[in-house]
Amino acid sequence: MLILPDGRGLDEEDGRLAGRFAAAGGRAMAIDLYGRTAGTGAREGNFLSRNHSAALRWATVRLDVDAAVNRLRDLPDRHPVVAVGFCLGGRVALLAATRRRRSLAGVVAFYPQTRGPARSDLPAPDTLVEMLRCPVLSLFGGADDLIGTDEIRAWRAELAVAPVPGEVVVYPGMPHSFFDRRAAEFPVETADAWNRVTRFLRSVAVSAPAAAAGSPSRTPSGNAPGQDPGRGTPGG
* pLDDT tens, residue by residue, 56-69: 999 999 999 999 99
C-alpha to C-alpha distance for 177 and 195, rounded to whole angstroms: 17
Region 210-227: mean pLDDT is 36
Asked if pLDDT for residue 202 goes beyond 80, the answer is: yes
In this prediction, residue 215 has a pLDDT band, given cuts at 50, 70 and 90, of very low
* pLDDT tens, residue by residue, 99-136: 887 789 999 999 999 998 877 889 999 999 999 999 99
Q: Which of 31-45, 48-62, 142-156, 222-236 has the lowest mean pLDDT?
A: 222-236
81 or 236, higher pLDDT: 81
Region 180-208: mean pLDDT is 88
C-alpha to C-alpha distance for 210 and 178, rounded to whole angstroms: 21
Instruction: Tell me the CA distances in angstroms from 178 to 173, 189, 225, one per residue in order.
Output: 10, 8, 23
Is domain 2-211+228-232 classified as CATH 3.40.50.1820? yes
Region 197-222: mean pLDDT is 57
CB neighbours of residue 60 within 10 Å: 13
* Domain boundaries of the chain, sorted by first residue: 2-211+228-232
Q: Which of 76-80, 84-88, 207-211 has the lowest mean pLDDT?
A: 207-211
Question: Residue 103 contacts by C-beta under 8 Å, 6 or more apart in sequence?
Answer: 133, 134
One-letter-per-residue 3-state SS of 42-97: CCCCCCCHHHHHHCCCHHHHHHHHHHHHHHHHCCCCCCCCEEEEECHHHHHHHHHC
C-alpha to C-alpha distance for 86 and 154, rounded to whole angstroms: 19
In this prediction, residue 46 has a pLDDT band, given cuts at 50, 70 and 90, of confident
The pLDDT > 90 percentage for the chain reads 60
| Partners of 138 in beta bridges | 109, 168
